[in-house]
Structure 1
Amino acid sequence: MKSRKGWTLTALLLMTVLVLSACGSKATDNGSSNGAQANNELEQIKSAGVIKVGMMGTYAPYNFLNDKKEMDGYDADIAREVAKRLGVEVEFVSQEFSGLTPSLQAKKLDAIISQMTITDDRKKVLDFSDPYITNQVKIIVKSDNNDITKLEDFKGKTIGVGLGTNDETYLRNEVLPKVGDFTIKTYDDVISSLKDLNAGRIDATINNMYALKPIVDANGLNIKAVGEPIKSDQAGIAVRKDNPELVAALNDALKGMKDDGTYNTIFKKWFGEEPAQ
């Protein structure tokens, strides 16, 4: 009898262990599932009902604060439309461009929509949507200058460019070796280079005319863009790495905007022309 009771107790203990093990396995499975869902940032954004978008807010006509101190511009309109198609509200976070990526990495932002050019270096640390704009860089000269229409005409001239910009690197590393000797004069800000161009102190500059238009209009500068674009850059919506669901949703939103004409409407509103194909 004593032995039989011992076997019964052992069997009960084994059954208890098996039940607890099964519960523990189920809890682990659920925990893994919840963890995967928690890592799906698209679901987090939808659950919160808001997407936090970082942008400079100082780069008209792309993004700037209007008279009502509201975020406005091309990027802002794109962000609002994307948020609408995700079924959420948009919350803008304004800061210097150099701080946008660190803020995104620190999870203070969900996305950056601020004319962030898609480059190989940036793709090492960020994921990007499909491009939502192609910015064409052109040669800019005085309105009465008919001598410069292409890069080859830079030879022997003085060309202004922003200090430390991609455009300066482009002139020094690509254009100079190809065209021959010309002088490069650097500037800390765009307005100074344009005023020097307007006054005839430099012969030309290179820049994106979309970005220059508000400055030209505000200062009454007599300058123009000439020739074909000399290069182009594409900007995309930047998010943290390894968020395929969010990237796919952003791409679907952008594609839908292009398919139904909303994208063209926004582009023409800010730039007065059809987007480059």
Structure 2
Amino acid sequence: MGGKVKSAFISRLLSLTLGCCAAALAAVPAHAGEQDLLASIETRGEFVVGTEARYAPFEFVENGEIVGYSADVIARVMEVFPDVKLNRMDLPFQGILPGLQAKKFDYVVTSIVADKARYEKFALSAPIADATVALIKRKSDTSLNVSEDIAGKIVGTQAGSVPLGDINAFAEQLKAQGIPVKEVKTYVGFEEAYADLMVGRIDAVANTLPALFMLKQKRPDDFEVVQPAFGPSRYITWAARRDEDSATLIRKIDERLQELNKSGVLAELQKKWIGSSVDLPLTLPAPQ
């Protein structure tokens, strides 16, 4: 082969080789070689979660520690995360889901009531508790015996919560019947609402049944749950970002929650913190 011909052949071969390499590299995903969220958590040895420790019996502070039903459940979940430390960031509820989206923490371990909007935006976990919304009143109030008796009265609940959406919908139903609610008043936390209820500034508080039963259990002489509940059947979950990076973490936590459900551990913890247990589905039904 002549010098010029040989040189052209080598040049062409090199060009083809480089082209093939470039095509192969282009086919590799941009995140290849990078750790996903679960691997990152295991590498750094820390799992950072957002919570709101003002929602007894699920999460609340006692003697400087976050305790409650969810605290016990996450402790059981962490058994499948060897050598990983749990770091809980205690935040106002209104900032938790935005904080998750902004990647301020890895996951949310607080009482997220599953509704359609949250179900579509976030990866909600397997159910950890029942979350049907009802009313609680002062025990001395004989004028409020069924949910419809809230007509003409003031009801309080937490801003940005699912109970707020449910009580607003119920208020619209009563208004259509010609018996409107006087006012739906919102609070940063439920403790402030309960305090106002106790002194008569409002007539009832709308919250999930487990939280209301816990309050009644702690203060049986002060409060009484109005039954039956007025809200649709709902469940309490945890939450993750709905992205590929979180997929393996979501799967690992859900599998562990399902194990705890099937083994009866969740039922035992419900009895411990709520006073009774409710059978929970292994996977979250799509909210209507």
User: TM-score, length-normalised on structure 1?
Assistant: 0.78
The secondary structure found in structure 1 opposite 2:114 is coil
User: What is aligned with 1:96?
Assistant: 92
User: What is aligned with 2:14?
Assistant: 16
User: What is aligned with 2:275?
Assistant: 272
Q: Residues of 1 paired with 2:115 and 2:96: CA distance? A: 16
Q: Measured at CA, do residues 53 and 204 of structure 1 come closer, stay the same or move farther in structure 2, by a change above 3 Å?
A: closer
User: What is aligned with 1:242?
Assistant: 243
The secondary structure found in structure 1 opposite 2:136 is strand
What CA RMSD, in Å, does the superposition of the two structures yield over aligned residues? 3.4
The secondary structure found in structure 1 opposite 2:98 is helix
Any residues of structure 2 matched to 1:68-79 within 5 Å, and which? 69-79=64-74
User: What is aligned with 1:60?
Assistant: 56
Q: Measured at CA, do residues 265 and 125 of structure 1 come closer, stay the same or move farther in structure 2, by a change above 3 Å?
A: same
User: TM-score, length-normalised on structure 2?
Assistant: 0.76
Kindly indicate whether the alpha-carbon contact (under 8 Å) linking 2:133 and 2:209 is maintained by their aligned counterparts in 1. yes
Q: Which moved more, 1:36-45 or 1:10-19?
A: 36-45
User: What is aligned with 1:175?
Assistant: 174
Q: Residues of 1 paired with 2:215 and 2:227: CA distance? A: 21
The letter for the 1-side match of 2:49 is V
The letter for the 2-side match of 1:5 is G
CA offset at residue 258 of structure 1? 0.6
1:130 alignment partner, one of 119, 126, 131: 126
User: What is aligned with 1:262?
Assistant: 265
Unaligned runs of at least 5 residues, structure 1: none
The secondary structure found in structure 2 opposite 1:20 is helix
The secondary structure found in structure 1 opposite 2:105 is coil
User: What is aligned with 1:51?
Assistant: 47
The secondary structure found in structure 2 opposite 1:99 is helix
The secondary structure found in structure 1 opposite 2:112 is coil
Kindly indicate whether the alpha-carbon contact (under 8 Å) linking 2:167 and 2:206 is maintained by their aligned counterparts in 1. no
Q: Residues of 2 paired with 1:95 and 1:84: CA distance? A: 25
CA offset at residue 20 of structure 1? 3.0
CA offset at residue 253 of structure 1? 1.5
The letter for the 1-side match of 2:271 is K
CA offset at residue 209 of structure 1? 5.0
Q: Residues of 2 paired with 1:161 and 1:196: CA distance? A: 9
Kindly indicate whether the alpha-carbon contact (under 8 Å) linking 2:51 and 2:93 is maintained by their aligned counterparts in 1. yes
Q: Measured at CA, do residues 50 and 228 of structure 1 come closer, stay the same or move farther in structure 2, by a change above 3 Å?
A: same
The letter for the 1-side match of 2:153 is T
Q: Residues of 2 paired with 1:81 and 1:150: CA distance? A: 38
The letter for the 1-side match of 2:132 is Q
Q: Residues of 1 paired with 2:242 and 2:89: CA distance? A: 20
Q: Measured at CA, do residues 161 and 170 of structure 1 come closer, stay the same or move farther in structure 2, by a change above 3 Å?
A: farther
CA offset at residue 5 of structure 1? 0.8
Q: Residues of 2 paired with 1:204 and 1:94: CA distance? A: 27
Q: Which deviations, in whole Å up to 9, do the C-alpha atoms of 1:128-155 show, x marking residues without a partner?
A: 1222221233343443556644234456
Kindly indicate whether the alpha-carbon contact (under 8 Å) linking 2:138 and 2:197 is maintained by their aligned counterparts in 1. yes
CA offset at residue 255 of structure 1? 0.6
The secondary structure found in structure 1 opposite 2:123 is strand
Q: Which deviations, in whole Å up to 9, do the C-alpha atoms of 1:222-248 show, x marking residues without a partner?
A: 221243222243222211122443333
Q: Measured at CA, do residues 205 and 22 of structure 1 come closer, stay the same or move farther in structure 2, by a change above 3 Å?
A: closer
Q: Residues of 2 paired with 1:106 and 1:59: CA distance? A: 23
Any residues of structure 2 matched to 1:193-212 within 5 Å, and which? 194=194, 204-212=204-212
